[in-house]
């Protein structure tokens, strides 16, 4: 390689989330002696300011790039991405998320970009979609896979599923874990102060879920779990650190089930280490996932996890060792697991001690170094 290699990352939105945070960290910390990073995204979310503060990253805001399928806007976004690629001339285009993955790979193909990488943080076709919608997304992913030189998956389960559905080639796929700042979570603090601000008694058991209030995360299931657990652990409190379109429904459901005074919905809390320092049990009620960073963060903080056994989650939550797993949608199964941990301090402490073990692959800087190694391999293979 001669000169710095331009790498353009393309992501649909910069809302709060693991894929978004990791993409920002990647472009911020790529080896500047070898790589020159760029970032293209659809503006309008909480992390836009972080992107605009990246002083030495080429930034390209694409207002027409939106998550919802809208053919006129999608065509405008494709045109804008092509224009961006043509002007900036990256050697590698690295796409993230379903919409940006399809449009970004199409633009790269049309503009003759030498190498194209796509990261599967979670597939765009999901169990919650109507069958015809899922079929369209699946077909689009199969087409886009032909324009992809290398795939990155955050969970081994996605490599197997993607191969079985024909949306990725396992021979060109690497597992690179979604990284976190392990030290920040292993040394988590601030829990007592957070409890005081939220009005949670110091001795009250606290069950937390970190994530957005969207159908994927099934926050209404979390409220139902809270109502079930409250019948046997009446002093427990339940916190959702996140926000989203289902917040109003979650609040109404909590009131209807008689737990509005125990289910806390304060919106986003950006100090996630403090949330986990305050927690006794972390829960994730998701119906589908990539490999949820919230679970890894909880384990790194030494908090046992109760989660649904979806996608990559069982790759880190080891049932009976550092947490407990249940079938997606099994509210009573999740509630029994939470109540079991709250009612058995010895089991909870044993799982908490095991929780941080084996997480080295999730170090956020290791994630960036592994992406750099992939870029070098692609460029050397094509030379």
Angstrom distance (rounded) from CA 377 to CA 173: 12
Backbone angles phi, psi at 307, to 5 degrees: -145, 165
Question: In angstroms, what CA-CA distances link 7 with 37, 97, 110?
Answer: 5, 17, 17
Residue 256, Cα to own-chain centre: how many angstroms?
31
> Taking the domains of the chain in order of start, what are their residue ranges?
5-179+363-382, 182-361
E-strand ranges in 127-168 read 150-153
Q: What's the pLDDT score for residue 78?
A: 98
**In the predicted model, what is the mean pLDDT of residues 138-159?**
94
188-204 pLDDT, tens digit each: 999 999 999 999 999 99
Model confidence band, residue 2 (pLDDT cutoffs 50, 70, 90): low
Q: Indicate whether 155 pLDDT > 70.
A: yes
Q: What's the pLDDT score for residue 129?
A: 79
Pick the CATH number of 182-361 from 2.40.50.100, 1.10.10.10, 3.10.20.880, 3.40.50.2000: 3.40.50.2000
Model confidence band, residue 383 (pLDDT cutoffs 50, 70, 90): low
Model confidence band, residue 118 (pLDDT cutoffs 50, 70, 90): very high
**Do 182-361 and 5-179+363-382 fall under one CATH topology?**
yes
378, two tokens? 């692609």
35-64 pLDDT, tens digit each: 999 999 999 999 999 999 998 999 999 999
Neighbours of 40 (CB within 10 A): 28
251-261 pLDDT, tens digit each: 999 999 999 99
**In the predicted model, what is the mean pLDDT of residues 121-139?**
85
- As to burial, measured by CB atoms within 10 angstroms (0-12 exposed, 13-18 middle, 19+ buried), residue 112 is exposed
Angstrom distance (rounded) from CA 117 to CA 103: 13
Pick the CATH number of 5-179+363-382 from 3.40.50.970, 3.40.47.10, 3.40.50.2000, 1.10.3210.10: 3.40.50.2000
CB 275 within 8 A of CB 206: no
**In the predicted model, what is the mean pLDDT of residues 108-116?**
97
324-375 pLDDT, tens digit each: 999 999 999 999 999 999 999 999 999 999 999 999 999 999 999 999 999 9
Residue from 112, 106, 56 nearest 80 by CA: 106
């Amino acid at each position: 390689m001669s000169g710095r290699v331009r790498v353009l990352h393309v992501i649909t939105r910069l809302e709060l989330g693991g894929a978004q945070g990791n993409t920002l960290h990647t472009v911020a910390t790529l080896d500047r002696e070898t790589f020159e990073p760029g970032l293209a995204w659809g503006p309008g979310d909480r992390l836009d300011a972080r992107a605009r503060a990246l002083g030495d990253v080429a930034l390209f805001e694409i207002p027409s790039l939106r998550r919802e399928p809208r053919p006129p806007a999608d065509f405008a976004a494709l045109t804008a991405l092509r224009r961006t690629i043509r002007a900036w001339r990256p050697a590698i285009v690295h796409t993230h998320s379903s919409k940006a993955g399809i449009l970004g790979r199409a633009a790269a193909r049309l503009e003759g970009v030498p190498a194209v990488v796509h990261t599967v943080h979670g597939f765009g076709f999901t169990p919650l979609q109507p069958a015809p919608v899922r079929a369209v997304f699946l077909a689009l992913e199969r087409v886009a896979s032909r324009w992809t030189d290398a795939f990155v998956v955050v969970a081994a389960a996605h490599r197997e599923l993607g191969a079985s559905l024909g949306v990725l080639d396992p021979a060109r796929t690497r597992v690179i874990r979604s990284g976190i700042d392990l030290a920040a979570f292993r040394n988590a603090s601030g829990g007592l102060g957070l409890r005081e601000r939220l009005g949670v008694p110091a001795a009250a058991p606290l069950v937390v879920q970190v994530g957005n209030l969207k159908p994927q995360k099934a926050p209404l299931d979390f409220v139902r779990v809270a109502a079930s657990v409250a019948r046997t652990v009446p002093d427990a409190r339940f916190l959702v650190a996140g926000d989203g379109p289902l917040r109003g429904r979650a609040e109404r459901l909590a009131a209807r089930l008689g737990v509005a005074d125990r289910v806390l919905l304060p919106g986003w809390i950006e100090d996630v280490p403090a949330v986990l320092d305050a927690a006794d049990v972390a829960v994730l009620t998701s119906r589908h996932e990539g490999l949820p960073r919230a679970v890894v963060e909880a384990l790194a903080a030494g908090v046992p996890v109760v989660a649904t056994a979806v996608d990559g989650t069982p790759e880190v939550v080891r049932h009976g060792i550092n947490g407990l797993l249940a079938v997606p949608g099994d509210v009573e199964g999740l509630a029994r697991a939470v109540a079991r941990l709250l009612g058995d301090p010895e089991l909870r402490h044993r799982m908490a001690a095991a929780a941080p073990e084996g997480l080295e692959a999730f170090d956020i800087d290791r994630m960036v170094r592994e992406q750099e190694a992939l870029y070098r391999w692609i460029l050397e293979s094509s030379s």
